[in-house]
Amino acid sequence: MLNPSLKLNEKIFNEDVEKQPTRNGFGKGVVALGEKDPNTVVITADLNESTRCDEFANKFPERFFDIGVAEQDMATIAAGMGVSSKTVFISSYATFNPGRNWEPIRTTIVYNNSNVKIAGHHAGIMTGADGATHQATEDIAITRSWPGIDVFVPCDAIESRKATIAAGEKYGPVYLRYTRDKSPVVTTDETPFQRGKIQTFWLTENPVATILATGYMVYYALVAAKELEKEGIRVLVANVATIKPMDEEELLKLAEETGAFVTVEDHQVMGGMGSAIAEVMAKLRPTPIEFIGLQDTFAESGKPAELIEKYGMGASSIAEAVKKVINRK
């Protein structure tokens, strides 16, 4: 059952569940910050509307900068503003930001400890028809290895808004990962968002495994858990919205309670959220883990649902991974 204390969307399994892209939450989040703090600045590199900067740009034109197709420059300009009284969001597709501009971000934002938030949009194979060039599937790996940065991957548009606001309210570099296509709204306005906390969204008696999912894949994990329950396999589903800092304490509790993990992410399994969890478990409590995500391959053009199926990341693949990991206990 849905964890009642988190006030999740009760209609999550309905056919007509509300769907929104998580990038919408970014747009709402920066507007909310802009209204509260006149030092909030948004910069984009020629992707104003598609990365949902437009509402901010219209409301605060003097604090919005479109610097053209120049992601490295976007990073360094933001770095300069971020040490000069501003809270700066840089917004582009994740393949370019933090892909193209990885080293300028590393040097001038992260190591330099400038107050810049990197908004990586169109993450994952969910980007769909544009093809693998525009599907960022390594961005978690290349950001979470930076010392001193927070990495947030919100599970829906509502959590996305809250994560954006939380990023803006704390000094220092943050990477935020957003997706393009509509996905079910899992949480509600009342669901708390806490940096660095793993939340168990799906509860059950005597669970035999935990599915740890991040981003919009949390929905697929919930569907898998519900299906598994019909077969008498009871699992927990946890939302890992903060990849860094990782909630080690909660992971340990979940491992002790269930003894096996399946990690689920729209990202390469190498270096992603699953890897981050495996690093913790190898140290704290060796636990069998199965990893759902891209298995060392680029994807291709297609509809998101088709791609998720083809690359073994859908609810049935997650359920299979649960059965496999239980046998390894």
Partner 1 sequence: MEDVTDKKILELELKANEIRQLLIPTLVEAGSGHTGGPLGMADIFAAMYFHILRHDPKNPDWIERDRLILSNGHICPVRYVTMALAGYFPVEELKTLRKINSRLQGHPHRTALPGVETTSGPLGEGLGQAVGMALAGKMDNKNFFIYCLTSDGEHQEGSTWEAAMAAGKYKLSNLIEIVDYNNIQIDGDVENIMPLEPFKAKYESFNWEVLEIDGNDIRAFISAVNEAHAIHDKPILILARTIPGKGVSYMENDYRWHGNPPNLLDIPGSPPKAEQAKVALEELRKIEETLRQAQGNK
The site for partner 1 (CB under 8 A) is made up of 41, 62-63, 65, 67-68, 70, 72-73, 75-86, 88, 103-104, 107-108, 111-113
Least distance (Å) from partner 1 to the CB of residue 282? 31
Buried b (16+ CB within 10 A) or exposed e, 87-123: bbbbbbbbbbbbbbbbebbbebbbebebbbbbbbbbb
The end-to-end CA distance of the chain, in Å, is: 24
Q: How far is CA 58 from the centre of its chain?
A: 27
Q: Which is nearer to partner 1, 147 or 232 (CB)?
A: 147
Angle at which helix 157-169 crosses helix 22-36, to 10 degrees, equals 40
Least distance (Å) from partner 1 to the CB of residue 68? 7
H or E stretch covering 39: none
Least distance (Å) from partner 1 to the CB of residue 9? 40
Least distance (Å) from partner 1 to the CB of residue 274? 31
Q: Which is nearer to partner 1, 59 or 329 (CB)?
A: 59
Q: Which is nearer to partner 1, 113 or 188 (CB)?
A: 113
Beta carbons within 8 Å of 266's beta carbon, 6+ residues apart: 123, 124, 125, 126, 137, 179, 215, 216, 217, 293, 294, 308, 313
Q: Which is nearer to partner 1, 98 or 207 (CB)?
A: 98
- 3-state DSSP call for residue 242? strand
Residues in the chain: 329
Q: Which is nearer to partner 1, 80 or 288 (CB)?
A: 80
| Cross-strand pairs, 212 | 238, 263
Least distance (Å) from partner 1 to the CB of residue 46? 12
Q: Which residue has the tokens 């060796």?
A: 286
Least distance (Å) from partner 1 to the CB of residue 137? 25
Q: Which is nearer to partner 1, 65 or 291 (CB)?
A: 65
